[in-house]
């Protein structure tokens, strides 16, 4: 395992937020490499270059540390989705941008997506609810655009958005697991084309919106 670039020699004092970032970075590396159950707080502390008491000052236990990481990266995905939808008024480009957001998240450094989508703690309510909330929040952003630009109901828009977000998540993860056999931009375009062929079947109601 390579050295954590944020690690400092033991005894080095950092501002609280900087220390928290350092500890989360070390924990992510250990959790991704070993999974939650095999990860040890001793190893995380050593990886961060701190003592266990320092680690416990910030996080009462391993689960709290994991949940903090999960919250952090869930918010990253939601923000990527929000930015993708706000990046253009052209709905076809919005579809492509949304798939790019999911592919970017899955391909990101540190394999943080595994904490969100491939956790070995999915059976725990606190983890399962966070993962489900992340996908729902991303889908709700998509749903708002669909509902605003078509004549379908809000419930129908939510169902469509769940399908689109699910497609983006599963296809991005499959692409990565297949050792990126297709170039990333080509994979994004391929999936966006499939999604657009379906979603563009509804008539737009907002004047000036690109179809």
pLDDT digits (tens, 9 = 90+) for 134-152: 999 999 999 999 999 998 9
Measured from the Cβ of residue 135, the count of other Cβ atoms closer than 10 Å reads: 20
The pTM (predicted TM-score) of the whole model is: 0.85
Fold that domain 67-198 belongs to in CATH: Tetracycline Repressor; domain 2 (1.10.357)
Angle of the 91-107 helix axis to the 62-86 helix axis, nearest 10: 150
Domain with CATH 1.10.10.60 in the chain: 17-60
Fold that domain 17-60 belongs to in CATH: Arc Repressor Mutant, subunit A (1.10.10)
Domain with CATH 1.10.357.10 in the chain: 67-198
* Residues 182-208 pLDDT 10s: 999 999 999 999 999 999 888 766 544
Where helices occur in the chain by DSSP H, the ranges are 16-34, 41-48, 52-58, 62-86, 91-107, 113-117, 125-149, 154-177, 184-199
């Amino acid at each position: 395992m390579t050295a954590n670039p944020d690690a400092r020699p033991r005894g080095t004092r950092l501002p609280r937020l900087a220390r928290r970032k350092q500890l989360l970075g070390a924990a992510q590396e250990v959790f991704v490499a070993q999974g939650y159950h095999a990860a040890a707080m001793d190893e995380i502390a050593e990886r961060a270059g701190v003592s266990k008491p320092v680690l416990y000052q910030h996080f009462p236990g391993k689960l709290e540390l994991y949940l903090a990481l999960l919250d952090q990266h869930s918010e990253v995905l939601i923000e990527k989705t929000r930015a993708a939808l706000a990046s253009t008024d052209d709905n076809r480009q919005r579809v492509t941008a949304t798939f790019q957001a999911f592919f970017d998240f899955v391909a990101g450094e540190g394999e943080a997506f595994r904490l969100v989508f491939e956790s070995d703690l999915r059976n725990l309510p606190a983890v399962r609810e966070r993962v489900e909330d992340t996908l729902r929040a991303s889908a709700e952003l998509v749903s708002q655009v669909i509902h605003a630009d078509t004549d379908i109901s809000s419930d129908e828009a939510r169902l469509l958005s769940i399908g689109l977000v699910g497609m983006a998540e599963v296809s991005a993860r499959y692409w990565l697991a297949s050792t990126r056999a297709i170039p990333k931009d080509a994979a994004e375009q391929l999936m966006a084309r499939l999604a657009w062929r379906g979603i563009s079947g509804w008539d737009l109601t907002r004047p000036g919106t690109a179809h």
